Structure 1
Amino acid sequence: MAWQIDTVHTHLGFSVKHLMVSTVRGQFKKYSGTLKLDAADFTRSVIEGSVEVASIDTENKDRDAHLRTNDFFDAPNHPLITFKSKRITAKGGSEYAVVGDLTIRGVTREVPFEVEFNGTAKSPYGHTATGLSAKATINRHDFGVSFNKTLETGGVIIGDKVKLELELEAIEVPDAVDPAALAGKGARPAQASTR
């Protein structure tokens, strides 16, 4: 079965340490993705998506503008972050390990995600939805995001580890329809659901 990410009910969040004493959280607001779910065996499913780097939002316009520059994501030259799963392993119950290629700033690394498959549900508005919760931790230096400054205390402004926390909801689309085509040329498709 093919599914299109519902941008109304999906959240792509991240967090990183600031000054080593607090945590800054943010999200990406424009993205698209497709799930090819095997109803009989989730481990044979495929998950892929792309995120528009310029849509980063940490609730601070100056910081967001800095994050788009070459110091961090270099959005003008690398406008998209992409992910495509390579293998899925069952861990028991509804939990799975999903390993895939994550590309940031043109650098691709294998990243393992801890994923919980939340099942499917029929919406009162007529569509069928499925949900996944996913989390992972990456080292930003592995992707060439290396900007930092040293503090007088010996610490650094920004932590190396970035936690990714994703809540994904997708809407089933007819098998005859290519979900990627629904997304158009941009990173974000038309909203799959407004309710």
Structure 2
Amino acid sequence: MKRILLAAALGLAFAGTASAAALTYKIDPNHTDVVVGWSHFGFSNPIAHFGKVDGTITYDPAKPAASSVQVTIPLSGLNSHVPDFDEHLKSADFFDAEKFPTITFKSTKVEAAGEKKLKVSGDLTVHGVTKPAVLDVTINKIGEQPMAKRAAAGFDASTTLKRSDFGLGKYAPNVSDEVSIRITTEALVPKPEAKK
């Protein structure tokens, strides 16, 4: 009887370790949005969305410091819901999307910051300029995505940046230099590759 109980205890311990193992997830662009907001002369607070996000998230719940994030945001996914304004933002006045077609973020450090909270530091490259950025992250859910039938992870994140740090300071301070960034993302463990 003792052997059976010991075997059961070891099995439970192993199962707990397995569920807490680090997994690498592929960002689902259909359930990911990057929202940037700013003040326009103090009268309004417009926003723009960046879709088509691509990247990977490695998350280790047992050891957050072993986690990492790598993301690419194509400027082709920029959408303010005002087509003329989108073209202006993509022009040389701002992002110069023809010369710098993507925004990238690569983490350099991940720290636990409380229950279901992380602090993710990394290198953000916008408009050809790389600066450090820190994201305050909330872990929404880790588990099986019921439609995909695969392991999934969901996170929200936020930060505030100065656009002038990246050479995008046109019209400041009338159009605020500081911009708020909110991110929501769902990511899935990739499907196993089909055997050849």
Query: What band does the TM-score fall into relative to the shorter chain?
Result: 0.7 to 0.9
1:15 to 37, 47, 59: 37
Q: Deviations over 1:24-65 (max 9, x none)?
A: 011012220101122421232000110111321111011110
Name the structure 1 match of 2:184: 167
Say which one has the larger Rg. Answer: 2
Change (3 A) 1:123 1:54: closer
Q: What is the DSSP-based 3-state SS (H/G/I as helix, E as strand, rest coil) of the residue aligned with 2:29? A: coil
2:77 to 55, 65, 68: 55
Name the structure 2 match of 1:70: 92
The separation in 2 between residues aligned to 1:145 and 1:54, in whole angstroms, is: 18
**Structure with higher strand content:** 1
Identity within the alignment, %: 31
The separation in 1 between residues aligned to 2:36 and 2:61, in whole angstroms, is: 29
Name the structure 1 match of 2:131: 109
What letter matches 1:91 in structure 2? A
**Structure with higher helix content:** 2
The separation in 2 between residues aligned to 1:5 and 1:80, in whole angstroms, is: 16
RMSD: 1.5
Unmatched runs of 5 consecutive residues or more in structure 1:
150-154, 178-195
Instruction: Extract structure 1 runs of 4+ deviating beyond 6 A.
Output: none
2:102 to 80, 83, 101: 80
Unmatched runs of 5 consecutive residues or more in structure 2:
1-22
- Paired residues, what number? 170
